[in-house]
Amino acid sequence: MAEAFSLQKVLETFRSCLSEEKEVYIKYYLAGWQELVSFMNTLGNVFSFISKDVVSKVQILENLLTGENGSHYVTVQSMVKYELENNLVDITKRGNHIESGCRTLLRLHRALRWLELFLDSLRTSKEDDKTSVMCCDAYNESLAQHHPWLIRKAVGVAFCAIPGRDTFFQVMNAGDETQVVALLGESLPLISEVYQITEDLYAKNNLLELP
């Protein structure tokens, strides 16, 4: 059986993500997402359409990383350079490269912003605050802007099934509430830094709207 999810492991993978030159290692980025998928799976089947999408994107990137051009996919920086220099990215509309590393990672990158916002509101929340509201606010501020109506509706339904705050803290498997809050405080700057470095790189290369 797979080891149980723990917030600690997510923290460790995001810590491993950055090289000394502040490049983002795709291997650990994907490992972080795999941890998050296993977390989502413990929350119930309503989330399976979300975790399936994450799994398929992780798989696309893993195939690139282990494929014959894998050496170009070690970091997000090297991937962007390689795919752009070799015209492997559909820039304005979908064409021959619908599964480029750049566009695939962009989807996860946008979702990472959601995660950052959500975890931060969880961290600062009070006992009576609703996780569904926190999820929804974080979503509207991030991913929703990139999703069509139908997906936004489906996500809205999934939010109704989100477990309460107490369950969330338990499933994170990192001790009592105070400990989880402390660990979140430690994890969030790491997640933010990975997010920001990727965001700046994508912005600099005009990749933030890849179809």
Question: Which residues here bind ligand 1PZ, judged by CB under 6 A?
Answer: 36, 39-40, 43, 47, 49-50, 53-54, 107, 110-111, 114-115, 135, 139, 143, 151, 155, 162
Nearer to ligand 1PZ by C-beta: 135 or 180? Answer: 135
Give CA–CA dist 106/165, Å, rounded: 29
Closest by Cα among 4, 13, 72 to 41: 4
DSSP 143: G
Shortest distance in whole angstroms from residue 166 CB to ligand 1PZ: 15
Nearer to ligand 1PZ by C-beta: 91 or 155? Answer: 155
Closest by Cα among 73, 70, 81, 151 to 110: 151
- List C-alpha distances in Å: 102 to 41, 66, 145, 147, 157: 26, 16, 19, 18, 29
Nearer to ligand 1PZ by C-beta: 21 or 150? Answer: 150
Shortest distance in whole angstroms from residue 43 CB to ligand 1PZ: 5
What is the separation of C-alpha 134 from the centre of its chain, rounded to a whole number of angstroms?
A: 17
Tell me if 93 sits within 8 A of 175, measured CB to CB. no
Nearer to ligand 1PZ by C-beta: 110 or 123? Answer: 110
Shortest distance in whole angstroms from residue 50 CB to ligand 1PZ: 5
Shortest distance in whole angstroms from residue 96 CB to ligand 1PZ: 16
